[in-house]
């Protein structure tokens, strides 16, 4: 249900190399590309150079109805595939991704603006979750319980939910979709994906690769659906009782809207929302390790990760020395075209993100923040898009309101602490609860940080940064981060429904709790 015209030579080359030459179909009106463009076509702008990559027509309500009905029909047969068979098909998807890792990663970088290394890393995450899903296909386990009644057996089993909607964000245009889709498919669900309207080309590429594998295996159409559009499409998914589970990744504001709509129909929701992540650097930290973790965590993906390090909480005894080392490291950062592997930092996604970055810096200064590493927007050759900004470091106080907010940009706040309890309290004193870390060589500090009295985040690390999660562990956070869990561990249970079964293999019908009902 996608009508696209590719306008960028590099993007066209990559898509053709991926074997996707049919990305320029007729418009829904039946009009071929030629003289004029449909008025409703939306431009897809690359933050790398500010030029249009493509124009695309968003899905309409009729498109939505076709996709969801196809999904419902496909579910009837897909749910009956043995789980290991579904896993075998997912294995083949992983193989396709391995073949296309370099090209697909380049497309991620071109469209989203993250570094080429990070683009390749995102495709690797998709490959990894395919591998995980293959193993999971033989481990969708239930429990057996002893019954209080004689000659009775109790057990539980898990069944697929049905249609799973997936709303993904621009910053990880394909990886987070795959965390949901590969697990949902192995569980026997069918998926409808609404990617960010800012990064639709990578979604089209992934959809084409998946459909190619599905067709080869005789999988019915509708198991994988794609709807490109804005908030209207997301609202349709949220309000539709035919969508059994809606997994949404994005801002806290968006998550609250989705949760309200899905909750009104008593549907299931899985939310991965904002993060305001901190690293505590104790006086016992390995400062070389702390520096590497802090800088990458703060500037990777130009600060546009939900797990980006936004706060450093530093012990007063090492504060001054560490901030000097930090300023020196920032001075060495190279900012520019993300397809050039010599650059550390690429662009923000668009002009709105740039303005949000500038507003946050201004607000921090108005509240009394002291600039340690100056920010600003870069201009001139190589920066024509206007989306390249300088990573900024600001010394702040705990009570500043800006510190409690998530700004999706490379702004790092420094805070000073005296005791570990104080540091933990500062870290937890924000509405979000996604990722966190402590840098220490002291076992007691590490264990206290990981205890119930420590970090209140869904992810808590020791001697690694806040970003860079592995797919083997469940990913997600608490508080305004939404409480959802995706990817590894037993996150698969969110995509299935639990059923408790009791079997009476005797000749009598005793009742539970010793109740007597004699006829």
Q: In what order do the strands lie in the sheet with 370-373?
A: 370-373, 392-395, 411-417, 309-315, 277-281, 435-439, 459-462
Which residues 6+ apart lie within 8 Å of 470 measured at CB? 128, 488
Phi/psi at 427 (5° precision): -60, -45
Distances in whole angstroms, Cα of residue 510 to Cα of each of 154, 163, 221, 504, 514: 14, 39, 48, 9, 8
Q: Which of 100, 122, 272, 480 is catalytic?
A: 272
The helix/strand/coil state of 310 is strand
Owner of token pair 């806040």: 466
Is 187 among the residues known to form the active site? no
Which helix H or strand E contains 4, and what residues bound it?
Answer: strand 3-6
Task: For residues 371 and 394, give the distance between their C-alpha atoms in angstroms, rounded to a whole number.
Answer: 5
The runs of H, that is alpha helices, within 252-315 are 252-264, 287-299
Contact 112, 346 (CB under 8 A): no
Task: For residues 486 and 438, give the distance between their C-alpha atoms in angstroms, rounded to a whole number.
Answer: 23
SS3 of 382-409:
CCCCCCCECCEEEECCCCCHHHHCCCCC
How many CA atoms within 13 Å lie on the side-chain side of 9?
1
Q: Which of 130, 206, 306, 392 is catalytic?
A: 306
Q: Across the chain, how many H-helices and E-strands are there?
A: 14, 22
Is 151 among the residues known to form the active site? no
DSSP state letter for 192: E
Catalytic residues: 272, 306
């Amino acid at each position: 249900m996608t009508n696209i015209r590719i306008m960028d030579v590099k993007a066209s080359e990559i898509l053709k190399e991926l074997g996707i030459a049919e990305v320029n179909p007729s418009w829904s009106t039946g009009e071929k590309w030629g003289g004029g463009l449909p008025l409703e076509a939306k431009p897809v702008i690359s933050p790398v150079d500010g030029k249009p990559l493509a124009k695309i027509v968003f899905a309409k309500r009729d498109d939505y109805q076709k996709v969801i009905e196809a999904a419902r029909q496909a579910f009837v047969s897909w749910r009956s595939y043995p789980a290991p068979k579904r896993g075998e098909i997912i294995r083949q998807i992983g193989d396709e991704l391995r073949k296309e890792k370099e090209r697909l990663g380049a497309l991620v970088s071109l469209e989203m603006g993250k570094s080429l290394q990070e683009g390749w890393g995102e495709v690797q995450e998709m490959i990894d979750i395919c591998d995980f899903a293959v193993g999971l296909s033989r481990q969708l386990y239930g429990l057996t319980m002893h019954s209080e009644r004689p000659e009775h057996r109790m057990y539980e089993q898990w069944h697929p939910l049905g249609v799973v909607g997936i709303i993904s964000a621009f910053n990880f245009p394909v990886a987070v979709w795959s965390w949901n889709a590969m697990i949902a498919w192995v569980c026997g669900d069918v998926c409808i994906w609404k990617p960010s309207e800012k990064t639709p080309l990578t979604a089209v590429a992934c959809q084409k690769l998946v459909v190619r594998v599905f067709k080869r295996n005789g999988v019915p159409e509708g198991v994988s659906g794609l709807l490109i559009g804005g908030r209207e499409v997301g609202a349709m998914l949220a309000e539709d009782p035919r969508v059994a589970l809606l997994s949404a990744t994005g801002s806290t504001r968006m998550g609250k809207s989705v949760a309200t709509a899905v909750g009104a129909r008593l549907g299931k929701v899985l939310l991965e929302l904002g993060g305001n992540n901190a690293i505590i650097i104790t006086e016992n930290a390995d400062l070389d390790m702390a520096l590497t973790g802090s800088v990458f965590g703060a500037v990777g993906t130009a600060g546009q990760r939900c797990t980006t390090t936004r706060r450093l909480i530093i012990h007063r005894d090492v504060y001054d020395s560490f901030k000097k080392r930090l300023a020196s490291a920032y001075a060495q950062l190279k900012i520019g075209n993300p397809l050039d592997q010599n650059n550390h930092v690429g662009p923000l996604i668009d002009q709105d993100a740039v303005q949000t970055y500038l507003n946050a810096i201004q607000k921090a200064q108005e509240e009394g923040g002291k600039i340690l590493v100056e920010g600003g927007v870069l201009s001139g050759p190589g920066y024509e898009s206007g989306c390249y900004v300088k990573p900024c470091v600001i010394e702040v106080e705990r009570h500043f309101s800006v510190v409690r907010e998530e700004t999706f940009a490379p702004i790092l706040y420094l805070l000073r602490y005296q005791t570990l309890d104080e540091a933990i309290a500062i870290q937890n004193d924000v509405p979000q609860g996604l990722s966190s870390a402590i840098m220490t060589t002291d076992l007691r500090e590490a264990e206290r940080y990981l205890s119930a009295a420590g970090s209140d985040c869904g992810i808590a690390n020791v001697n690694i940064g806040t970003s860079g999660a592995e797919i083997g562990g469940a990913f997600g956070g608490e508080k305004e981060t939404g409480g959802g869990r995706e990817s590894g561990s037993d996150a698969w249970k969110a995509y299935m429904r639990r059923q408790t079964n009791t079997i009476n293999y005797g000749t009598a019908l005793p009742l539970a709790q010793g109740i007597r009902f004699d006829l």
